[in-house]
Structure 1
Amino acid sequence: MAKDMKVKDYVAQMQSGRSFVKAKMDSAGIGKVHLSFVEHSGRPKCEQVAAIEGYLNFEGAGSVSQLYYLVMSRDIRKKYANSVKTARETGSKYPNAIWDSNGGSSEKRDANGNVIKPCRYYAVQVSPGSKSDIVLQVMEGEGEVTETGGYMLKKGATVKRINVPFTFLDFCAFVVDIHDAVAAYKSVHAQLGYTGSEINEFTPYKPRNAVQQEPMNTTATMPQAMPQTPVPAPVATQQNAEKLSVVFVMYDSLGKTMQVTDSAQNVMTMFGKMRKALYKNTPEHYALVNDKYTLEAVQSALYSGAPTIPTCRFLSEKQDKECYVCVRRVEVTRYES
C-alpha cells in the first residue's frame, strides 16, 4: 500500500522487453534533465543487469531544446532516411547516429591524492533501429578531459551500452513530455520571481514564501499566487507554426516534489497521491485543512478555467507546522511544421 502512495519520480519513461529509460527532473537545479537507463533480465524476474546515468542540458548543443526541435520539425525523418541510405550504400552493419549528446565528470581524489573515482565519459545517441524505428542509446566508459574542458572517451577504455527501442510516435511523445516538464520548470522559476543569473543558473527549486518547518506562531506567510500572465502569441510562418499548450504544474512548499501534466483530470489524481504522501511519508504527518471545501474549490477552478487555482494548506499532526501544495497553469510553446 505504501508503494502505491509513492509520488512519481519521473516525467517520461519508455520500457522494452529488457531495458527501460526514465527522464527525471532531479538535476534541474543545474539546468539538466537526468536520463536513467536500466538493462534487466526480462520477465518474470526483471533483475537489473546494468544501469547508466546520462544527462541532457536544457539549452545548447545536444540539449533537450535541440532534440525537441529535431522531433517537431520532422528533421528526424529526413536524418533517419539519410542514415539508413548511407549504411546500405557503404555496407555498414549499423547506421550512424542521427543525434547525439555527450558529457562526463572529472576524476575525484582523496586527501592523499589517490583517485577514488576516475574520470567518466558518457554519450546519449538517437539512431535508426534494426527491429524498431528508433533506438535511444547511452554509452559510458573511462574518459579524459580535453584541452577545451570537455570530455572524451579514453583510448582503449571498456565501453558499456544500454539500448531502448522506440516507435517514431513513442519517441516523439517521450521528447515532448520532457520538453513540457523543462518549459514548466523554467516558467515556474520566472513567475516566482527568479531573475538574471538565478534563472540562467537554474537555482534549486524552492518557493520564496514557503513555510519551511516553522511553528505556526511565527510570521510565516502563505505562498503568493503566481500571476497568470498570458504568453504573447508567436508569429506563424509558412514553414513553421507555433502553438501554445497549457500544462499544469503541481509542487509543495517543502520542496520535495514537482509534477507536470497536460490534463486537468490528472491534476486531481496527482493531488490525491501527493496528499497521501505528505501524510504517510513525512514525520509530521501533514493533513489537508478543510479537505472537502478545498478539493471542491480546486476542482471547480481547474474545470472552469478560472485565472487562479486555490493554494491548499496542510497542517502537521501536532498542528505546529504547516506546508502548502500549489497548482499553476503554465503555457508552453510547441512547434509544428
Structure 2
Amino acid sequence: MANERDFIWQQQGASSFVKIKMDWARFGKIHFSFVQHSGKPACKQVASIEAALKVDGGDGALYLAEAVKNNTMERRRAKALEDQKASGAKYPAPMFTSMGGTTAQRSKTGQCVFRQVSLVPGMKTDYALQVVEADGEQTATGGISMKKGAQVTRITVGLKREELLSMASAILMAWQAYMIASSAYGTLGAKPYADVQDADEPDVSANRQMPVKVVTTTASTAWVIYDSLGETFEVAVSHDAAILCVQESITVLRKTGQCYSRKDNAEYNAVKTAIQTDCDELPSITLYGKDNTTCEVIVVKRTIRKSPQETQFPSGQAS
C-alpha cells in the first residue's frame, strides 16, 4: 500500500481524479490510480482502476514524459484533431497508448484483466488521461488483449497544457530521485519481469543460483530536493545543505515567468523543522504563480550507505 510520500502528482476533475505513485517503482512501473466519483457534494466513488505504466520503452512512462516536455505530444494532438476533422470521426485518435493488464495466473481474482492507459485530445480541456479496464485474454505471444464483447470501465481526467507538463516533470524528477536513492541502497534498477501483485514473494530458484552479497556499511542520510516543474534537482547530505537547497529551489521558481511564491511561511517552516529533526515524512511546499497556477517543492529523505565493504558468498552460506 502506498504511503503519503509515494504520491508524486495528482489531478482533480469534476467527477474523477488520478494520482501517480512511486510505490511500484521497484518493479520498473509507475503506478497510476484512477477514481471516478459522483461529483460534489457527495463525491461517492463509482469506479476505480489501478494501472501501471512500465518505465522504459516506447509505451513507457519516461517516453511519455519526454514526449510531453519536447512538444511531441502537442504536435500529435494537432495532427489527431486535424485527422478527426478530415475523416468526420466522432473522437480523435490517441497520441499515446500503453496496453497491459494481469494474467489469470497472477490475478488475485483468477481472471485475466486487460488495461490500457492513453493520452488523448480533451473534449473540454487540452488533453485527457484515459484508462480502460475490461476482461482480457492472453495472446499467443504472451500479451493481453481485450476479450470480445467485454464490458468496459473507462475513467477520463482532463488536463490543461501546463498540468500535463507538470505531470511529465513530476515523473522524470521522481524517477531520477528514485534511481539516486536506489543506487545509495545498492539496489539500483527494477526487479525484472516481476508482477506487481506477487513480486514480493521470494524467487526460490533465483536465490539458489545467485550469490548473496553481504554489505557492511555506515548509515547516513541524504535528502533529494526537486520541484514539480522540473526546474531544480539537488541532493544534500547534511541538514544545513538540505535547507539551503530548499531555499534555492524556491528562489529559482520565483524567477520564472510565473513568479512563484509562498502564501506564508508555514509549509517552509514545517519542512525546515522536519529536516532538522530527521523526520522520515516531509511535507511539500506549495508555490503560487501569477495565473493561479501552482507548483510544489518536494523533499525526499533516504538512508544511504558510506564506504560499503562487500563480500560475495555462495547462496545459503551467508550469515
Pairwise same-fold verdict (TM > 0.5) = yes
- CA offset at residue 227 of structure 1? 12
Matches within 5 A, 1:9-28: 9-28=6-25
**Aligned alpha-carbon RMSD (Å):** 3.6
Decide whether aligned partners of structure 1 residues 182 and 85 sit closer, same or farther in structure 2, where only a CA change above 3 A counts.
Answer: same
Deviations 1:110-156 (A, max 9, x none): 9xxxx942100000000001111001000010011111111111111
Which residue number corresponds to residue 69 of structure 1? Answer: 66
Equivalent pair of 2:173/2:233 in contact (CA under 8 Å): no
Matches within 5 A, 1:48-197: 48-108=45-105, 116-194=109-187
AA matched with 1:30: F
Deviations 1:175-218 (A, max 9, x none): 211221111101211233335xxx2527999xxxxxxxxxxxxx
TM-score, length basis structure 2: 0.63
Alpha-carbon distance in structure 2 between the residues aligned to 1:124 and 1:247: 31
Alpha-carbon distance in structure 1 between the residues aligned to 2:178 and 2:150: 37
Decide whether aligned partners of structure 1 residues 192 and 80 sit closer, same or farther in structure 2, where only a CA change above 3 A counts.
Answer: same
SS of the equivalent of 1:71 reads helix
Structure 2: tracts of 5 or more residues without a match: 201-215, 225-229, 238-245, 251-264, 280-300, 305-319
Structure 1: tracts of 5 or more residues without a match: 1-5, 206-219, 229-242, 251-260, 276-287, 296-324, 329-337
Which residue number corresponds to residue 258 of structure 2? Answer: none
Alpha-carbon distance in structure 2 between the residues aligned to 1:35 and 1:19: 13
Alpha-carbon distance in structure 2 between the residues aligned to 1:35 and 1:58: 12
Equivalent pair of 2:101/2:115 in contact (CA under 8 Å): yes
Corresponding pairs, count = 232
Decide whether aligned partners of structure 1 residues 25 and 326 sit closer, same or farther in structure 2, where only a CA change above 3 A counts.
Answer: closer
Identity between Structure 1 and Structure 2 (%): 31
Which residue number corresponds to residue 246 of structure 1? Answer: 233
Decide whether aligned partners of structure 1 residues 67 and 247 sit closer, same or farther in structure 2, where only a CA change above 3 A counts.
Answer: farther
Equivalent pair of 2:136/2:147 in contact (CA under 8 Å): yes
Equivalent pair of 2:97/2:116 in contact (CA under 8 Å): yes
**Alignment match of 2:219 (pick from 214, 223, 230):** 223
AA matched with 2:180: S
Equivalent pair of 1:106/1:120 in contact (CA under 8 Å): yes
AA matched with 1:246: F
SS of the equivalent of 2:7 reads coil
AA matched with 2:48: A
Matches within 5 A, 1:197-236: 199-201=189-191, 223-224=219-220
Equivalent pair of 1:108/1:116 in contact (CA under 8 Å): no
- CA offset at residue 46 of structure 1? 0.8
Equivalent pair of 2:25/2:190 in contact (CA under 8 Å): no
SS of the equivalent of 1:223 reads strand
AA matched with 2:233: V
Q: Which moved more, 1:124-133 or 1:59-68?
A: 59-68
